[in-house]
Structure 1
C-alpha cells in the first residue's frame, strides 16, 4: 500500500470511493487532489477539519485524480486541490487553499448554529 494512502486511511478517509458516508440532508462535496504532495496533504487535513466543524453534516468524497483521471475529466477539474459541490448546476468550486474553514462552510451554504 502506498504511504500516502496509509496516511489518509489513518485520518479516517477512504480514497477514491463514494461508499459509506452520506445520509439524507447531508451536504455532499468532492475533494479532488493529485498525489501526495504538500498541497494534497494540507487539503486532506482541512477536509477533516471541515467535517468536524460541520458536526458530520458534510460528507466529502476524496478523489485522487492520478488514480481516477476519468472522473476529473468528466467533472472538468483543471487544478487541484478543488473542493466541489456537483449537486448544483453549475457546480460550486473552490480551487486551492481550503484551510479557512469558516469561509469554506459559508461558501457552500452551510450555516452553523451560533449557539453551539
Structure 2
C-alpha cells in the first residue's frame, strides 16, 4: 500500500501569501497524493500555541508529520517539484 501523508500547513491570517500557499498545497495534494493524505491548516493568529509548540518561525510553513522522517517546507509552495522533493513525497 502507498504511504499515507499527514501534512500541516501553518499560515498567518488571510494574506495573499497564505491564500496562495493553501491553493498550491491543495493542488499538489489533489494531483500527487490522491486519497493518500490528511491536511490540516493552522492559522497561527487563531492558534498561536500550536505554532509555538512546533517552533514555527516563518509562515507559510508546511510540515510532513507522516510518514517519517518529519520534513518542513517554508514558502508559498509555488514550486511543485521543490515541495515534493522537500517533503520526500513521491507521486502516486
Aligned Cα root-mean-square deviation (Å): 1.9
Structure 1 equivalent of residue 87 of structure 2: 108
Counterpart mapping for 1:66-85 below 5 A: 66-85=45-64
Against the structure 1 CA distance between its residues 95 and 106, is the aligned structure 2 distance closer, same or farther, given a 3 Å change threshold?
Answer: same
**Greater strand percent: which structure?**
2
TM-score of the aligned structures, taking structure 1 as reference length: 0.68
3-state secondary structure, aligned to 1:84: strand
Residue 99 (structure 1) aligns with: 78
2:19 is the alignment partner of 1:41: yes
Q: Which runs of 5+ in 1 are unaligned?
A: 1-23
- What's the CA shift string for 1:12-62, capped at 9, x where partnerless? xxxxxxxxxxxx941101000000011111011012101112213222210
1:7-18 alignment to 2 at 5 Å?
none
- Matches of 1:104 and 1:58, distance apart in 2: 15
Deviant stretches of 4+, over 3 Å: 86-89
Q: 1:106 to 1:56 in 2, by over 3 A?
A: farther
Q: Which has more radius of gyration?
A: 1
Normalised TM-score (structure 2): 0.83
* Superposed CA offset, 1:60-106 (max 9, x none): 210000010000000000110000123446x4211112112222122
Equivalent residues, number = 89
Q: Distance in 1 between matches of 2:8 and 2:74?
A: 12
